[in-house]
């Protein structure tokens, strides 16, 4: 598809990407401060790390509720209220007087985070042109990636004002993100809430109907494996691997993870274009194969530089996978609403992110890094096989549903 033939992206897409970037920027500032702030209350390292788990657990448990709220309130209102809940809990966390208050507030923030995530994904799917779903997904991923990369840079500056300052900064970025979307999407017909009598509301897709679509079943396995590795094992076990095998400190581990981000950044925009021209299936199969190979190879890296090269390739593989997964979800919904469909997609990814570090960490203690990363590689390989077993979703699902060939 030539540039002149590429559909123009609606303004709602840019507003949502800007909102996602702002959220990621603020989170990048506050994330390193969360366990350090918990230690200020005199708790153990385990209790401090449990703060992160409390947030992730509440995200996981509240996903069905978020899907119901999206169906009841609509995506725009759920998005705004979700972000404001995270903002309120974050701002209150800066004033927390003890550990218990901090845990409860972070848990409440997890509920708001799920509301925001499910609503944002559903909104992006609704406003994405059919021929540009991959490009929209890559733009969204790039916004989060850039925000995540700049966050720690700002974090070092903000932390100089005290351990509570990052929470105040994140509060501000969240309010800004909610304001951007509230104003930009105020008159949007695509983001408008559907009433029960609206014909468009009647076309909502149920979770049962989605589970009857082979591509959606493959997608759930895929996002579980991706959450397990990219959101779980990568950020939790790889720093331990760097410390134990290469004697690296936290800064060294950060460079290894930065190599992953670099590989992701190199291919994230081309991946979006390729998803809209070549199709989802070839990129998903290739990306999963690359990820499986790199996770299997990582524990056998002879030097730190070799490990960084492996993670660079893993980041490139993830760039092939990530936009394709969201594009497949959009193909399955084909313009229809489906709060529970999106919530299950989000919950499955979060489940992988919660279980991955726990299982991999236990396997490292019992059998070593080779087995821990090997299990992750097997999950990724199984996902690649699942994608190979179903037709490409680009254009096929909507035509089949409408009775076309």
Domain residue extents for the chain? 10-193, 206-397
Q: What is the DSSP letter of 326?
A: H
Q: Which is the CATH superfamily of the domain at 10-193?
A: MFS general substrate transporter like domains (1.20.1250.20)
Give 396-402 contacts, CB < 8 A, sequence gap 24+.
396/331, 397/213, 397/215, 397/331, 397/332, 397/334, 398/130, 398/331, 398/334, 398/335, 401/334
Distance CA 311, CA 255 (A): 10
Query: 182 versus 308: which is more confidently predicted?
Result: 308
Its CATH class, for the domain covering 206-397, is mainly alpha
Distance CA 33, CA 9 (A): 37
Contact 165, 159 (CB under 8 A): yes
Q: DSSP readout, 164-203?
A: THHHHHHHHHHHHHHHHHHHHTTT-STTSPPPTTSTTGGG
Question: What's the pLDDT tens digit per position in 242-291?
Answer: 888 999 887 788 888 889 999 999 999 999 999 999 999 999 999 999 99
Distance CA 24, CA 10 (A): 22
User: How sure is the predictor about 396, in pLDDT bands with cuts at 50, 70 and 90?
Assistant: low
pTM: 0.85
Contact 1, 123 (CB under 8 A): no
* Farthest CA pair distance, the chain: 65
Domains 10-193 and 206-397 share a fold: yes
Question: What's the pLDDT tens digit per position in 86-109?
Answer: 999 999 999 999 999 999 999 999
Tell me what the mean pLDDT of segment 30-39 comes to. Answer: 80
Distance CA 297, CA 289 (A): 12
Q: What is the DSSP letter of 160?
A: G
Contact 208, 303 (CB under 8 A): no
Question: What's the pLDDT tens digit per position in 163-194?
Answer: 889 999 999 999 999 998 888 888 776 666 55
């Amino acid at each position: 598809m030539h540039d002149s033939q590429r559909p123009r992206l609606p303004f709602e897409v840019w507003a949502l990407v800007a909102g996602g970037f702002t959220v990621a920027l603020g989170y990048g500032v506050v994330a390193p401060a969360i366990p350090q702030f918990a230690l200020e209350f005199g708790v153990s390292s385990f209790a401090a790390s449990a703060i992160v788990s409390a947030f992730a657990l509440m995200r996981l448990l509240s996903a069905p509720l978020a899907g119901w709220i999206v169906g009841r309130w609509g995506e725009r209102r759920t998005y705004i209220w979700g972000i404001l809940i995270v903002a309120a809990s974050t701002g209150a966390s800066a004033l927390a007087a003890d550990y218990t208050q901090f845990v409860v507030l972070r848990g409440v923030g997890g509920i708001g985070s799920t509301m925001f995530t499910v609503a944002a994904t559903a909104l992006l799917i609704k406003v994405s042109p059919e021929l540009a779903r991959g490009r929209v997904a890559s733009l969204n991923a790039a916004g989060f990636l850039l925000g995540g990369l700049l966050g720690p840079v700002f974090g070092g500056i903000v932390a100089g004002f005290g351990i509570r300052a990052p929470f105040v900064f994140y509060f501000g970025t969240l309010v800004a993100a909610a304001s951007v979307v509230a104003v930009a999407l105020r008159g949007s017909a695509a983001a408008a809430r559907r009433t029960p009598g609206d014909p468009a509301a009647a076309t909502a897709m149920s979770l049962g109907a989605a589970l009857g679509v082979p591509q959606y079943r493959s997608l759930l396995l895929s996002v579980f494996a991706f959450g397990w590795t990219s959101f779980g094992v990568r950020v939790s076990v790889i720093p331990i691997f760097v410390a134990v095998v290469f004697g690296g400190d936290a800064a060294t581990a950060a460079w290894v993870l930065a190599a992953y981000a670099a590989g992701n950044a190199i291919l994230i925009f081309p991946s979006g274009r390729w998803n809209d021209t070549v199709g989802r299936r070839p990129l998903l199969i290739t990306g999963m194969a690359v990820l499986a190979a790199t996770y299997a190879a990582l524990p056998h890296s002879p030097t730190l530089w070799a490990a960084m090269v492996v993670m660079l390739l893993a980041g490139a593989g993830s760039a092939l996978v990530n936009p394709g997964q969201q594009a497949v979800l959009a193909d399955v919904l084909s313009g229809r609403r489906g709060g529970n469909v999106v919530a299950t997609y989000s919950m499955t990814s979060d489940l992988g992110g919660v279980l991955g570090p726990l299982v991999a960490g236990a396997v490292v203690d019992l059998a070593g890094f080779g087995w821990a990363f090997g299990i992750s590689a097997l999950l990724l390989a199984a996902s690649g096989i699942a994608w190979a077993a179903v037709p490409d979703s680009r254009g096929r699902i909507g035509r089949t549903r409408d009775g076309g060939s």
